[in-house]
Amino acid sequence: MQSLGELVRIKLPLLAQHLTNISADIATDAFLCCYCTTLPSDTAMRVWDSLFLEGPKILYRVQIYLLKVHILTSSPSHPVQFNTLCYLFS
């Protein structure tokens, strides 16, 4: 999971700093399970198709995308849950 953490440090430095401050790990069940349990099945199959076509880099791209969407759509007055974002991704 160090590679995912390093990618987050490069692409989303503010989030990486926040996670370091609260001693949180970036590894998610979604990433570890190739999104089969968190995304709707149609979307998970698209991710898997891309995984077989492009290789493991697609898993990193999807995770960074989901984190960016979460950052952009979350606000203190109207927080958005991760599962909601997974449905928005479909």
| Contact yes or no for 14/49 (Cβ under 8 A) | no
Please classify residue 46 by burial: count the beta carbons closer than 10 Å to its beta carbon, then call 0-12 exposed, 13-18 middle and 19+ buried. middle
Q: Of 66, 67, 47, which Cα lies nearest the Cα of 57?
A: 47
Separation CA 23–CA 73 (nearest Å): 23
> What tens-digit pLDDT sequence spans the chain (90 residues)?
578 788 888 888 888 888 788 877 776 666 667 777 878 888 889 999 999 999 988 988 888 888 887 777 776 655 556 666 665 554
